Structure 1
Amino acid sequence: MAPGDDNQSVLQPKCLLLIFSVGLNIFFVCEFSGHYYKESQTAITFTASKDNPLENNTILLIWFWPFGIKFNLNSCSTLYNIDGCYLTVDRDLYSEAHAVLINHKEIKRNLSNLPTKPRPFFQKWIWMHFESPQNTRRLNGLENLFNVTLNYRRDADIVVREHIVLKTEDTEDKIFPQVLDKKDKLVCWIVSNWNGKHERIKYYNELKKHIDIYALGRHFGKVVNNSQYNEILTRCKFYLSFENTDHHYDYMTEKLFNPLALGSVPVALGAPRYIYERFVPRDAFIHVKDFSSPQKLAEHLLSLDKNVEEYKKYFQWRKHFEVKLVNYPQEHACRACHYIRTKKDYQFFGNLNKWYWDPINDGT
């Protein structure tokens, strides 16, 4: 044995033990670190991903911003006490969405901008529309495409519209009778959409021959902003609530409800009076069909202008009722999601075009 062999034979087991110990430590460190890394990654992915709503949420995919109007997608709970709804405009969530909300006005004539992927078995398509039938183009191919209707009509699946509700006991009327002192206009009308073929334009042209009408709006070169609009309605004794359709069910808009809310008496032209009376107290408005001609209507308005006590009778409904306005389209989306969340039944809506565009045919 060469000199030093004894030392090498003594050190060799120590070296092996040291190497084994270091290797074992490295193994545990790597294994622990790898495990911790995986757990951390899983936690981060779960908590931070905005594309993974909670499992018990109802996902409503808004396919188009209605008329380009954007709104807070997280407001259903705070504004309308509707929980469990996840509103999104992320089309990547199409396959997971419980419903797709589609505004009619945004649909292309050839339907090319509608979803092209197969519809999941659990998913419902909601047809949303709040324009009048006379002011809406009819599209071929929609007849049997939707499951649910979101509309102003009473027979829609989801009904969202302005309406009259009972007042709570502690509700104070801040409009009437104070508004009487502000009135310096007799008849007002604000209009931008002008079509000489519409019945409302023909009626206005005859009515103005017999009574002075304070007319504003884009057509008259007098654009009105929101604050001016509210002020004008409080200053007018009567407002021409003339709709652009006169033979379709249930169509009455803010043209009727805003004057009611702001203390002006609406003079309604549109659906028959009996349909108005389904939504509004009969003594809260005047209907053009109550009179044989525009001249007779003008005479009635002029007589009310001279008789304050008779005029006040059109506000008696305010003792017990008030106007409930809606927030378009935010409220519509939230209520649509709530409907989908609470109604799990299989649904199919056939012949949409006939339902919406056919005129009143109940024989009245």
Structure 2
Amino acid sequence: MMPSKTPSGHFRHLIIAGVLLICFTAIFYIYYKPSIGWMSCTDEPQPDVCTEACLKVIANKTENTQENTQAVTTVEPGKDHLPEIVVLIWYWPFGEHFDLNSCDPIYGIKGCRLTDDRGQFDQAHAVMFHIRDIGGDLPSLLAMSRPPRQKWVWMNMESPAHSPQLNGAEDLFNLTSNYRRDSDIWVPYGRLIELSNEDEPFQMPQKDKLVCWIVSNWNNNHKRVGFFNEFSKYIKVEAYGRYFGRYVNHEDYAKVVSSCKFYLSFENSIYRDYITEKVFNPMRLGTVPVVLGPPRENYEQLIPKDSFIHVDDFQSPQELAEHLKTLDQNQEMYERFFSWRKHYVSKGSVFGQEHACYICDHLQKHKSFSVVKNVNQWYFT
């Protein structure tokens, strides 16, 4: 005869059954709640009744659910999967090579493939032509057959006074890339961009020179030469360059410019938007540019109005010289020219590289037909 179960044994079995029922209910809730609306959560605290084993089951299920959700998210179509754009560099600008894999790490432009392999001409979405290097190749370019949707890009950073007119190529190009703000793909010589956490706070460099100028292209017909000849009668200018027999190499450039309170940022020719590294480099190095170029209003479209001195603001070179001497004696007035450094930093462009990457970016965003009708008339008149 089997012994009868004691009341205490029945009670233990009931407790175990109850715990298993609660765990089963919790697991069922975890599995099916996302698709079942009849069980809602409340803000009331729930009793801690699950065993350690039960909680492990729930935790494992939760982790698996999160992993599955993440896996679905990473393969969602249309996210960070841009079609690859191929940009062919027909000539290295002035023979200067740059990193073909720079668009994503430097400019954050994804889906770009730059190449200088002309064997990929038929696969290229765009071909970048540096017009200063085309030379005698124009007849062969005019006779070339190209894919119907391929874009040919006229790329140039010299002013009209130092650029060739390509006669017969009036309708050869689809896009332009230039310092001009009305070009299709605008690439200025420099930009002021907001400070980032990686940028060091600005500190004024030590100054032991008042006015400096580094010039290689000396032409008596240039406006800047005539202005300098008169200006230097009234103030000492530390002049460098081949003309003055004081060549400055790349390593010494920053040291020289930063040691000057003012730098003569005189352009070799005066055209709309032609505002070059002669302005942005001194600003980056902690020196005030004294500009000679397009009107002040044009400069103020790119840099703060109180960050530079324009020669047109003075009646004569002598008046400008006297003003600089006054600023030399008033440190507070001088330092006001650097108020912008609290918020911005000056960055120069990378010649050729930036153009190619932004050409790619443009093609990703613009798929329409385009032709530059008479590029010579646009640029030279």
Q: TM-score range by the shorter chain?
A: 0.7 to 0.9
Whether the 8 Å CA contact 2:215–2:241 is kept in 1: the answer is yes
Query: 1:262 corresponds to which residue?
Result: 285
Tell me, in whole angstroms, the C-alpha distance in 1 between the residues paired with 2:236 and 2:197: 40
TM-score (norm 1): 0.79
Whether the 8 Å CA contact 2:142–2:169 is kept in 1: the answer is no
User: Structure 1 residue 169: deviation in Å?
Assistant: 6.2
Query: 1:224 corresponds to which residue?
Result: 248
* 1:331 match: secondary structure: helix
Tell me, in whole angstroms, the C-alpha distance in 2 between the residues paired with 1:273 and 1:155: 18
Q: Does 1:82 align with 2:109?
A: yes
Q: Does 1:307 align with 2:330?
A: yes
Amino acid at match of 1:172: E
Query: 1:35 corresponds to which residue?
Result: none
Q: Map residues 227-266 of structure 1 onto 2, 5 A cutoff.
A: 227-246=251-270, 248-266=271-289
* 2:336 match: secondary structure: helix
Whether the 8 Å CA contact 1:256–1:266 is kept in 2: the answer is yes
Query: 2:320 corresponds to which residue?
Result: 297
Query: 1:40 corresponds to which residue?
Result: none
Q: Does 1:166 align with 2:173?
A: no
Tell me, in whole angstroms, the C-alpha distance in 1 between the residues paired with 2:331 and 2:215: 28
* Corresponding residue to 2:222 among 173, 181, 198: 198
Whether the 8 Å CA contact 1:109–1:139 is kept in 2: the answer is no
User: Which consecutive residues of structure 2, in runs of 5 or more, have no partner in the other structure?
Assistant: 1-81
Pair 63,113 (structure 1): closer, same or farther in 2 beyond 3 Å: farther
Query: 1:188 corresponds to which residue?
Result: 212
Which deviates further from its counterpart, 288-297 or 79-88?
A: 79-88
Query: 1:104 corresponds to which residue?
Result: 131
User: Structure 1 residue 342: deviation in Å?
Assistant: 2.4
Q: Map residues 124-143 of structure 1 onto 2, 5 A cutoff.
A: 124-143=151-170
Whether the 8 Å CA contact 1:183–1:234 is kept in 2: the answer is yes
User: Structure 1 residue 112: deviation in Å?
Assistant: 3.5
User: Structure 1 residue 110: deviation in Å?
Assistant: 6.6
* TM-superposition CA deviations, 1:170-225 (whole Å, max 9, x none): 74324x33x1xx10011000000111101011111111111111000122122211
Which deviates further from its counterpart, 302-311 or 163-172?
A: 163-172
Count of aligned pairs between the two proteins? 300
Q: Does 1:331 align with 2:354?
A: yes
TM-score (norm 2): 0.75
Tell me, in whole angstroms, the C-alpha distance in 1 between the residues paired with 2:137 and 2:121: 21
Amino acid at match of 1:270: G
Which deviates further from its counterpart, 113-122 or 207-216?
A: 113-122
Q: Does 1:149 align with 2:176?
A: yes
Tell me, in whole angstroms, the C-alpha distance in 2 between the residues paired with 1:158 and 1:94: 21
User: Structure 1 residue 138: deviation in Å?
Assistant: 2.0
Amino acid at match of 1:89: D
